Structure 1
Amino acid sequence: MRQPRDTPIRTAPFDHPATPGWPEQQGALLLRGLATAIVHLSEVPNPGTFALPYAAPVQQALDGVVLTRLLMKADPPESVPQLVEWCARFPIDNLPFPTPTGIAPPDSRLLDEETRQPNRICYELALSGVDPTAQQIGRQAMEDAAELCRESDSPDIYQAFRELLVTRPVLTGRELALLPADGKGLEVLAAPLRALYLPVPASHLNRDTRTYTACGRCRTLLHPTVHGGLVCERDTCPARGAVERGREYRADDIDGGTYQLIRPLRQWVSEPGVLEQQLAERLRKYGAAVQLWPSYGSYGLHVRSPQGKSWAVEVKDWSSAALLGASTRPPTAGPPYDRCFWAVPRVRLQQDTGYRNRFRLHGTGPGSLQLELVGIDDLVGIAHRERAALPDPGAPTGHPLPVEGLF
């Protein structure tokens, strides 16, 4: 039987469960509901078997937009397909109904024009409201995994579990079935794993070759585009150049099918986890001691800096600085710390020069003043300067800092 705990444990299955500081005006509510509907539609396992009536979140979003357009004395969308087309065609700040300013980066859309799949910002907006089904399942499964490892006093199994989610976002059915026998103790987590890896939907399938293709950089599956190309769902991958094709998975049943992490975990666990591993290695080069995912995931990295200070660090890769700011809550569990950092990839600060300002403007959550938003490179720079200031640093202070990569 599970015993009650005196201290709340945050298992960090996602960045946060909601954004209570996000403004509740009508435009914000409408946009959040629309994003939730788009995510809900994308999670239909087989669109070919879809039938009316629409699920409640979808119908509510359509009703809200129709009513708003009628009050504007403008033509409403005639159907859900037309509403979906608006989401792919119009930037969020130019949708044909009022939306809050400063919530989304300029020119961002809820749906990718090439793949007709929800963008990162769409999931960020949806997460700030009522959770779509896959997010609820994913959060519960992550919490269950942390609790099972805690009950058996097995931090090493939890570390192996997080490593799996980071390095293997795609598995064949045979690989998934064999995971409990890989010698890492994952048999304890067989049930949560079955909820986190689901069959790949047809939207990823190359119908000519009957294969799914993984990204050669990040290992997530590539999306076919409407023009016959391939694109990675992680927007930092296309920023590095042409698509790199990785492993191919057959759509037949020879290997038991193909499974992938559900999208919320790919976006908020796997992707930041890769960057956290990378950050840990960079910090260690300057004498920092780093523990990944301490206390069963209470936060991302516990760092003992070169001068002996304790840092709580989490990598946050959010396109919306406003939504990230509204979620500011330093960790309340895990190893104690002197400073708390949220580290964001360089690409976010380059794409949006006002990112830090928007984060601070919306940072009204509990403990927001104690939380420091920095670039990943900036955090490495702090460790570098601390090491250089020691009497005998013993570190390469005269060489350039290691450059932040993606993976």
Structure 2
Amino acid sequence: MDGVLLLRSVATAMVRLSEVGDPGTATLPYPDEAQRALNNTVLTCLLLKARPPESLPELVEWAAHRPVDRWPVRLPPDVVPPESLLLDEATRQPTQLCYEWAVDAEDSAARHSEQRYMAIASRRCREEDYPEAYRAFRLLLVRRPVLTHRELTTLPAAVDGDLGSLGDLLYDVYQPAPAGYLDWERRSYTSCARCHTLLHPMAGGALWCEQRRCRDLGTVRRGREYQADDDGGVQLLLRPLRQWVSAPGVLEMRLARQLTGIGADVELWPGFGAYGMRVRCPDGTTLAVDHKDWASPALLGRRAAPPPPDPPYDRCVWVMPAARLRDHPDFRATFERYRSSASPELMTDRELLRTARQLIGTVDPDHRYADTARDGEAMEGLF
């Protein structure tokens, strides 16, 4: 079997298993996607005369411990970053790379990405000509990935109707928090003080955050603690929405503040989410900006395409975290090799700010672009 197709199959299976429980505790009968992935892996190994996994639990162990570039499959060069795993070793939850490969599979993109839910929100608000409701919905997903059930039921009224007809969609995108996040001794969940999603308890009392940017900062910081049974239980935003909407939204909001501070006019999520930010400079130049924090530059390059032309813009920019480029020196080259479109331009956050300053005419070569975020953490490297 083609290595790319196999990797998509296995990644889709790991995501599917995480939706029904811990991938490491898979039992018969296996979900259809998981059984197909196991069959495909065994067949590929036999064709290549390599030892195959003997069961789905062993395939899960491969995903959690064997870097993908060491699997007995034939893959195009640089299609996966070196030493990358499909499952986190400590929690057995899908890594960001795993979700990227699952989304890359055409038959699973709607299920395993944010597209379905955000398309519903965009369509409803467009039909009602209510952009304020779309922005309120997007802000909620960015700022509140965790809600109690009581907050979930009272939220539409609490925001004075700004969510419009999207109130019922909240019950689809927020689901009861999985047991893997529960501290069984304390009967509580703990959120991350930085990104506000729930933390995974680990052996010895340690906590683990799914967001790479939080882990890169070192010690995980405890945020709000939720008692498991208080206020009707704890609701967690679906992982694809945390990955593709909440996390990018945090950076987009911070970049919006930075760009506004240097004289640009910034609109978040214009055109009912056509792209992340519309940045208009005094000289009339307009940038369409999206935040793209992807582990695989090859998969990101395959998706390179300009956003819809409405609202109109002059240049399209994808902003990458500087940390990704530092960790993967060949990121840009790999992205360029796999892209099929000349647009968008790929920049770091600092490069975007420098470009905006040049357009505005306020270039300061000594400016450090320090973030004004809480804790005094610099923007570059945080994302």
Give the TM-score, by structure 1 length.
0.86
Partner of 1:329: 305
Please tell me the residue identity of whatever aligns with 2:96.
R
Structure 1 residue corresponding to 2:355, chosen from 370, 376, 382: 382
Q: Report matched runs for 1:74-85 at 5 Å.
A: 74-85=50-61
Opposite residue 402 of structure 1, the aligned amino acid is A
Task: Specify the code of the residue in structure 2 equivalent to 1:266.
Answer: R
Is contact 1:341–1:373 with CA below 8 Å preserved after alignment? yes
Shift in alpha-carbon separation, 1:281–1:133, aligned structure 2, 3 A:
closer
Counterpart mapping for 1:254-269 below 5 A: 254-269=230-245
Q: CA deviation at 1:209?
A: 0.9
Q: Which moved more, 1:231-240 or 1:186-195?
A: 186-195
1:155 paired with 2:140, answer no
In structure 2, relative to structure 1, the CA distance for the partners of 1:307 and 1:80 (3 Å cut) is: same
1:111 and 2:87 aligned: yes
Distance 1:344 1:331 in 2: 17
Of residues 149, 163, 184, the one that matches 1:207 is: 184
User: For 2:225, which of 244, 248, 252 is the aligned residue?
Assistant: 248
Name the Cα RMSD after superposition. Answer: 2.1
User: Aligned to 1:107, what secondary structure does the other structure show?
Assistant: coil
Q: Of residues 162, 173, 188 in structure 2, which corresponds to 1:196?
A: 173
Structure 1 counterpart of 2:12: 36
Matched AA of 1:283: L
Q: Deviations over 1:248-295 (max 9, x none)?
A: 11112x311111111110000000011101111111121111100001
Measured at CA, do residues 387 and 63 of structure 1 come closer, stay the same or move farther in structure 2, by a change above 3 Å? same
**Is contact 1:317-1:344 (8 Å) kept?**
yes
CA distance in structure 2 between the aligned counterparts of 1:123 and 1:277, rounded to whole angstroms: 24
Q: 1:335 is aligned with what amino acid?
A: P
* Cα distance in structure 1, aligned partners of 2:61 and 2:294: 24
Map 1:53-202 onto structure 2 (within 5 A): 53-129=29-105, 130-131=107-108, 134-135=111-112, 138-182=114-158, 183-202=160-179
Q: Mark the CA change 1:223 to 1:363 in structure 2 (over 3 Å): closer, same or farther.
A: same
Instruction: Determine the C-alpha separation between the residues in 1 that align with 2:25 and 2:60.
Output: 18
Structure 1 residue 401 and structure 2 residue 369: aligned? yes
**Secondary structure at 2:356's aligned position in 1?**
helix
User: CA contact under 8 A between 1:179 and 1:187: conserved in structure 2?
Assistant: no
The answer for the alignment partner of 1:18 in structure 2 is none
Structure 2 counterpart of 1:371: 344
Aligned residue for 1:14?
A: none
Partner of 1:102, secondary structure, is coil
Residue 224 of structure 1, CA deviation: 2.1
Is 1:287 aligned to 2:263, yes or no?
yes
Shift of 1:132: 6.7
Percent identity over paired residues: 49
Say which SS state the counterpart of residue 241 (structure 1) adopts: coil
Judge conservation of contact 2:289–2:318 (CA < 8 Å) in 1. Answer: yes
Deviation string 1:187-228 (CA, Å, 9 cap, x unpaired) is 511221111111111111111111111011110111123554
- Measure, in 2, the Cα distance between the counterparts of 1:320 and 1:48: 24
The aligned amino acid for 2:297 is A
Letter aligned with residue 400 of structure 1: R
Matched to 2:358, the amino acid is: R
TM-score by length of 2: 0.92
Q: Once the 2 structures are TM-superposed, how far is the Cα of residue 315 of structure 1 from its aligned partner?
A: 0.7
Query: Relative contact order (C-alpha < 8 Å, sep 6+): which is higher?
Result: 1
Residue 16 of structure 1 is matched in structure 2 by none
Task: Indicate conservation of the 8 Å contact 1:384/1:397, yes or no.
Answer: no
Aligned to 2:197: 220
**Alpha-carbon distance, 1:62 to partner:** 0.1
Q: What are the superposed Cα offsets for residues 298-351 of structure 1, whole Å, 9 maximum, x if unpaired?
A: 111111124320111111111111100000110124211111111111111111
* Structure with the higher fraction of residues in helix conformation: 2
| CA distance in 2 between partners of 1:79 and 1:113 (Å) | 18
Q: For the structure 1 residues 258 and 381, does the alpha-carbon distance in structure 2 shift closer, same or farther, using more than 3 Å as the test? A: same
Q: Give, in whole Å, the separation in 2 of the partners of 1:50 and 1:353.
A: 37
Structure 1's consecutive aligned runs of 4 or more residues displaced over 6 angstroms after TM superposition are 46-50
Distance 1:333 1:386, change over 3 A: closer
Alpha carbons of structure 1 residues 38 and 67: separation in structure 2 relative to 1, 3 Å = same
What residue ranges of structure 1 are gaps of 5+ in the alignment?
1-24
Residue type matched to 1:360 in 2?
E
Count of aligned pairs: 373
Q: Is the 8 A contact 1:46 1:201 kept in 2?
A: no
| Matching of residues 274-353 of structure 1 within 5 Å | 274-353=250-329
Q: Distance in 2 between matches of 1:133 and 1:308?
A: 37
8 Å CA contact 2:23, 2:92 repeated in 1: no
Deviates more, 1:373-382 or 1:227-236: 227-236
Q: How far is the alpha carbon of 1:153 from its aligned partner?
A: 1.4
User: Could you tell me how far 1:370 is from its partner in structure 2?
Assistant: 2.8
Q: Distance in 1 between matches of 2:366 and 2:128?
A: 47
